Structure 1
């Protein structure tokens, strides 16, 4: 008891206005062991004799302890103490008479609950009854019942909204019935608008990440409640000018529509007139946020219900947006309508498609203005830093030598959103966006340099995504215009690949560069480009090997433990991802330049050979083989000059323990047969039994093995098709037919169907069987291929397959026999193929 009284004195001193007393108290508090702190703080909260100030301080400290030091303290507590903590919190919530303290304890319980739910959403409280009590309290606290103080319900809504975000979608799957019911009832509490608004905000969090199938059964109830509340709050706005709840309800409607998609169509007419009315009449300055959110809501509903349902209102909505847009110059820079308008235009573009092009002259001016915001940057010394704080909208990175690099972040989020919209327009309108490609490229390319702020990283990612899209848009202007635009991009992209320090952004830049080369084709890179690119790629590969050595050294360090290993694995994943992008760039270069690029490639040859050494990690071997696959596929017989480096490892890799390595090796055998030429014949022969062995292995069709197995099946087919002298075709064909169809690897599936068409069209007796007895099996293979989208209408083989089916259809009895073996889904797939061809 004496200890507890001393602790109360300590808490009092922590609130002391005397700096010396407060500092001494903080030092004393820091020396108390974590478990003891928790015990003292809980006792202070539960002690009826303690003053409200002491109890409030204890609650604040306990929540902070559970938030910042949970992993250091809680797992080390005994099971009895953990149970006691939860029991004390629940008891305090139910018995505490002070609304302020009760709210703070509710926040503590929410923090503990959040920490005790694992990544899969499983609650780690072993005392199931306590968990149920906690959950029931959370939901019951939302309801407008007399015993629950508004602040408690406010806190419960906050906790539910946070958990809906942090643990989605598991939280939604487990608690959808309780949450939706509790929040809807709370939203009806007209006497407490702040609680109403917070319940609506929690509903937004819940529905944003709620699986559509879970939400649909509640749609009628949700819509009825939201409509009643919206109408009531709209009247309140007109009569009293209050808008807080209406702002949140409008966003709730948007979130529900966004998740429900086409299922929202029956409710469209219920909401759209009121929403248009708000946009048309909420023109006062204090209603800017409401108007912006309503514009967002209308565009999200339009996107959800689709063009056909939205079109009768599209013209009126567009006129409302256009009116706002023409007044844009009068809007203040911080007007919340700006960001909502920019996003709404992009959604309208998705809805209207090519019809949106007519609005570009109005839309693009303000959009380009927002996208052109220039971040304010500065190099500051320590003395300058004292006069600027992060609260002023600056973020800093310490550069050493008492210097820091700062960037003012105001406007960057809007800039990122605007650039995102430009990407959307380029993607949706394609050649219809050509008038703006030049100014967009000139705006975006200079962004290819690193800043540390997250919004700048987003901008770089958007920029790299836009490059291939803008080139596609520019095609319509002819090759000269296209080439000029590409040259403006190319230098910046190559330099960015060499200098970008952030691995996430670097991978996006490399991917974009590869896509651009594929799009531009042969001749897009000059000698200087090749020289610079070769040096950069060589550097990336050398860095890859060096980083692996450093990680191995860290594993031998005395400080090595599981946490270090987790960090090392993250670093390894980042390195491997960059390696995949090196492979992407080489793929695009080989596919564009063919064998002409081999002399340039030789500067990288030994590094690629190093990747496929047997002692390398499986990811290295996988991507090394993929690069040699491209050499064989695109450089045809010329590739054989490097056979000594990769052929033996490739054949050995067909039996590798890693399915990814097997897949890369099998693909390589297939392209050897298809493109490699005469010199590869012996190796195709040698590969056949190895491929068959992989296909017939016990676990060959398991989830982790199926892609490798399907590549092996495709490779066997390619050898029989292009190098029949390398295989006993008559012996293998019946087995090969039994291995079809391929359902996972869509590209290889097309190759197998092409070969199947060859065999059927030449009346191959082994494939058709005696008296066409294999046709039901062939029908089943085709039907499954169509149903699984392994065969698509745009594939050349789809017409050939449809022709085969029509021939059988004309034969009467044989058609009946073939169709009768198919289930309803498979029969529909056959009909879909006939209709599309």
Structure 2
């Protein structure tokens, strides 16, 4: 025992040294700490936390290290502990939460308990520490229940939606019961916070059975807490409850309609009367709650209150200039306006003059920035409110995140207005474009850069009403900014958004939107992206040969790979938009990329490379035919071989290619269409061709066979293939290809094709079935031209009573309704 006590004392000295301002002492202590075995480490740390006589900073350091140990080395340490030791840890933590007098240490112990609970949920979502759920029961000390709420809230976020599916019955009732504990407001507030986390990620279908009970409890608590606010001025629980209501409404959507009148009067009352400074956060959260409920229940239910709510918001807005910069209401207001815009649609336009001033002011915040080398970085942690972007060469770019959240939210709201109001937003497009185009640079957070990119095509749509000249001016302003951003953006998530938006803009602007300098710069950038793609793949292969290679390394390599492939899809997007706008005129420019694209479709490359390489050649054939044939030597053989590839994504890209060859390729592609047919048929007739993972590829093959029969009938024995093709319809997954097949089907029926109609129209019931399924699965939409043609087919049958009865009698209820819908809408 004495030896143990001595070791513990030594350990306290070690913990003290870990906090030493002297670098050498600290380094020495870290090295010693690293040599202590896992089990001993846990024992010493627990003892440090539980020792009433230990200094507070020693206990605090012990708690921080134990949490770190459980979060970073759980798998190495915990399973190796004896069962007895595992039980000791759980018991000691729960006891410590009950008995610890220092709020700071207690919070840290709660965090450790939450971390342990999180790690004790297995892959199937089973909780290995059921005592934590039992920690809610009223006989437990409030601090234990407080910790349990913390843990539940954390797990609801980290393990969604598995956690919700497994524990909804236990957790919802436990949290509601805990929220009713009027004598412990802190516990109530934490239970409400955990309920928010739980409902935010809870599938709607799971929540609905509890909706009545949830709403009634929340209403009782809200009324009680509103009284408390009036009498005693306490507001903590009310703030959380208001957000809980918002979260429940957000998940329940239209199912919240019956409860709307229960809450709206009280919520409006809070916004109207809660004007004191200390109620700013409550008021902000209530504004958020009202707008979320409005969005959930929809325009019809919300309309009678909409103008009163708008007046309340306008009043707050008028006082907006008097609000202090750190007023929490600002960000809630900005989001609420955007939700109101979604609810009211075009009717919202009248409020823009009031809303846009503060929104632009918030969106224009200039955050504090710094260029740091690696040394400086060590002295600033991300916890101090900085976000970092690594620039390579030992340098990082830092952005102070204070105010950045609001700025990012404001930018997303501008995107929302442009999207919802379209031409109604035209007056503001110029100032917004000027603002957004500045943000291709790094001196703002990633969310701001994403919003800036997203806004560009939407703003062009808004600007269209002012005519082509205004539109072109605006586009020139954007275009330089976007191309520069594609070349310099270091964050791959942001980069993919910028490339996606750039592609959308080119599609919107069409032929002539890029000048020679643009093309030159873009060509260089895309070439660089493709070369980088190959280089990164080689680097990953090298890392797989490394001696440190293990499962964890493989996981991070696969993440990198997914990121790379995602950028490749965006390169394909950009090329697609250029081909579809410029057609064969762009081929000389494309030749600088040709060899790199050919490299993508080599049989030895990963399937995703081959898929996207083929997609790019599909675009060349579709948009540049017949001039595309001069590149046929590079892609035709690989494309035909890929029709039977083991990867369904590769098969799909190849089949689409055959379809566009038939439709647009011209004479020169004829022999290849003939050669492709038996390969396509083999894929369609394979036993598992309709399995979930294969169905899209198979439907592209069916569509390709249809296109060959329709556009190149001389390449195939149409009479022999047609009955088979008919038996493969309708296409339910690939909506775009479905339209092609229905168009062809209409051609065949309208020309009274005897094979399709059958002897004495015997195939009509089968055709009705195909049409009904197409409508039911939304493969035929009322705006498609073929829907009118199909409706006419149905009307012609209607004339003959006997035939009509025969066709309709084979349909089930859903299919009959679909036929009726088609007749009513087309």
Same fold, TM-score > 0.5, yes or no: yes
The answer (yes or no) to whether the contact 1:44–1:55 under 8 Å persists in 2 is yes
Greater CA drift, 86-95 or 525-534: 86-95
Structure 2 unmatched runs, 5+:
1-6, 438-449
Q: Distance in 1 between matches of 2:202 and 2:669?
A: 54
Alignment partners' CA distance in 1, 2:400 and 2:105: 39
Distance 1:578 1:401 in 2: 23
Of 210, 233, 247, the residue aligned with 1:255 is 247
1:756-810 per-residue CA deviation (whole Å, 9 max, x = no partner) reads 1111111111111122111111111111111111111111111111111111122
Any idea what SS the aligned residue of 1:386 has? helix
2:308 paired with 1:304: no
Contact 1:583 1:626 (8 Å CA) reproduced = yes
- Measure how far apart 1:475 and its partner are: 0.3
Deviation at 1:637, TM superposition (A): 1.2
Report if the CA contact (8 A) 2:662-2:707 is conserved: yes
Contact persistence 1:339–1:417 (CA under 8 A): yes
Residues 1:95 and 1:436: Cα distance change in structure 2 (over 3 Å)? closer
Equivalent-residue separation in structure 1 for 2:564 and 2:698 (angstroms): 27
Q: Does 1:824 align with 2:816?
A: no
Aligned CA distance change for structure 1 residues 632 and 338 (closer, same or farther; 3 Å): same
Shift of 1:545: 1.8
Which residue in the other structure is 1:690 paired with? 679
Give CA-to-partner distance per residue, 1:268-294, whole Å, 9 cap, x none.
111111111111111111111111111
Kept after mapping to 1: 8 A contact 2:113/2:151? no
Q: Are 2:488 and 1:496 equivalent residues in the alignment?
A: no
CA displacement at 1:245 relative to structure 2: 1.0
Distance of 1:718 and 1:212 partners within structure 2: 42
8 A Cα contact 2:98 2:144, kept in partner: no
Alignment of 1:557-636 (within 5 A): 557-636=546-625
The question of whether the paired residues in 2 share the 8 Å contact of 1:59 and 1:104 is answered with: yes
Write out per-residue CA displacement over residues 660-715 of structure 1, whole angstroms, 9 at most, x where no aligned residue.
Answer: 11111111111111111111111111111111011111111111111111101000
CA displacement, residues 577-628 of structure 1 (integer Å, 9 cap, x when unaligned): 1111111111111111111111111121122112112222211111111111
Provide Cα deviations, 1:425-474, integer angstroms capped at 9, x if missing partner.
Answer: 000000000000010000001xxxxxxxxxxxxxxx11111111000000
Aligned to 2:107: 103
For residues 657 and 519 of structure 1, the distance between their equivalents in structure 2, rounded to whole angstroms, comes to 37
Instruction: Find 1:20's aligned residue among 17, 24, 37.
Output: 24
Q: SS state of the match for residue 371, structure 2? A: strand
- 1:535/1:15 CA distance change after superposition, 3 Å: closer
Aligned residues between the structures: 807
Give me the whole-angstrom Cα distance separating, in 2, the residues matched to 1:663 and 1:35.
Answer: 54
Q: Does the CA contact (< 8 Å) of 1:83 and 1:127 recur in 2?
A: no
Gaps of 5+ in 1: 129-141, 446-460
Cα pair distance change 1:127/1:77, threshold 3 Å: farther
Shift of 1:110: 3.1
SS of equivalent residue, structure 1 residue 404: strand
Maintained 8 Å contact 1:393/1:408:
yes
Contact 2:363–2:408 at 8 Å: present in 1 too?
A: yes
Instruction: Report the TM-score when normalising by structure 1.
Output: 0.90
**1:220-255 deviations in Å (ceiling 9; x for gaps):** 111111111111111111111111111111111111
The 3 A distance-change label for structure 1 pair 18 and 346 is closer
Q: Is the 1:103–1:151 Cα contact (8 Å) retained in structure 2?
A: no
Stretch of structure 1 that moved more, 147-156 or 33-42: 33-42
The separation in 2 between residues aligned to 1:537 and 1:20, in whole angstroms, is 50
| Structure 1 residue 341: Cα displacement | 0.4
Question: CA 1:358/1:563 → structure 2, altered by over 3 Å: closer, same or farther?
Answer: same
Distance 1:396 1:7, change over 3 A: closer
* Contact 1:119–1:167 (Cα < 8 Å) also in 2: no
* Structure 2 SS opposite 1:378: strand
Q: Distance in 2 between matches of 1:818 and 1:61?
A: 74
Taking structure 2 as the reference length, the TM-score comes to 0.91
Q: Is 1:86 equivalent to 2:90 in the alignment?
A: yes
Alignment partners' CA distance in 2, 1:147 and 1:715: 69
Q: 1:50 to 1:780 in 2, by over 3 A?
A: same
The CA distance in 1 between the partners of 2:610 and 2:140, in whole Å, is: 63
Q: Mean alpha-carbon deviation: is it higher for 97-106 or for 239-248?
A: 97-106
Q: Give the direction of change, closer, same or farther, for the CA distance of 1:19–1:429 in structure 2 (3 Å limit).
A: closer
Q: CA deviation at 1:66?
A: 1.6
Q: Is the 8 A contact 2:267 2:290 kept in 1?
A: yes
Cα–Cα, structure 1 residues 691 and 400, in superposed 2: closer, same or farther, change >3 Å? Answer: closer
Q: In the superposition, relative to structure 1, how do residues 397 and 780 fare at CA in structure 2: closer, same or farther (>3 Å)? A: closer
Cα pair distance change 1:79/1:806, threshold 3 Å = farther
Q: Quick one: structure 1 residues 810 and 379, their matched pair in 2 at CA, closer, same or farther if it must change by over 3 Å?
A: same
Q: Is the 8 A contact 1:511 1:581 kept in 2?
A: yes
| Residue 64, structure 1, aligned to residue 90, structure 2 | no
Contact 2:196 2:243 in 1 (8 A): yes
Provide Cα deviations, 1:510-536, integer angstroms capped at 9, x if missing partner.
111111100100111111111111111
Structure 1 residues 126 and 415, CA gap change in structure 2 (3 angstroms): closer
Q: Is contact 1:230–1:250 with CA below 8 Å preserved after alignment? A: yes
Q: Kindly tell me: are residues 778 and 385 of structure 1, through their superposed partners in 2, closer, same or farther at Cα, counting changes over 3 Å?
A: closer
How far apart are residue 191 of structure 1 and its match? 1.2
Measured in 2, the distance between the counterparts of 1:120 and 1:760 equals 53
Deviation at 1:109, TM superposition (A): 3.9
Map 1:224-623 to 2 at 5 A.
224-379=216-371, 393-394=385-386, 405-445=397-437, 461-623=450-612
Following superposition, the deviation at residue 316 of structure 1 comes to 0.6
Please say which of residues 505-514 and 68-77 is displaced more in the overlay.
68-77
Alpha-carbon distance in 1 for matches of 2:679, 2:773: 27
- Cα distance in structure 1, aligned partners of 2:374 and 2:53: 50
Aligned partners of 2:378 and 2:724: how far apart in 1? 77
Distance 2:617 2:522 in 1: 19
2:717 is the alignment partner of 1:756: no
Judge conservation of contact 1:99–1:152 (CA < 8 Å) in 2. no
After TM superposition, give the deviation of residue 67 of structure 1 in Å: 2.8
The Cα shift of 1:265 comes to: 0.7
Report the CA distance between 1:493 and its aligned residue: 0.9
Closer/same/farther in 2, CA of residues 395 and 520 from structure 1, 3 Å limit: closer
The structural deviation recorded for 1:636 is: 1.9
Change (3 A) 1:205 1:527: same
Give me the CA root mean square deviation: 3.3
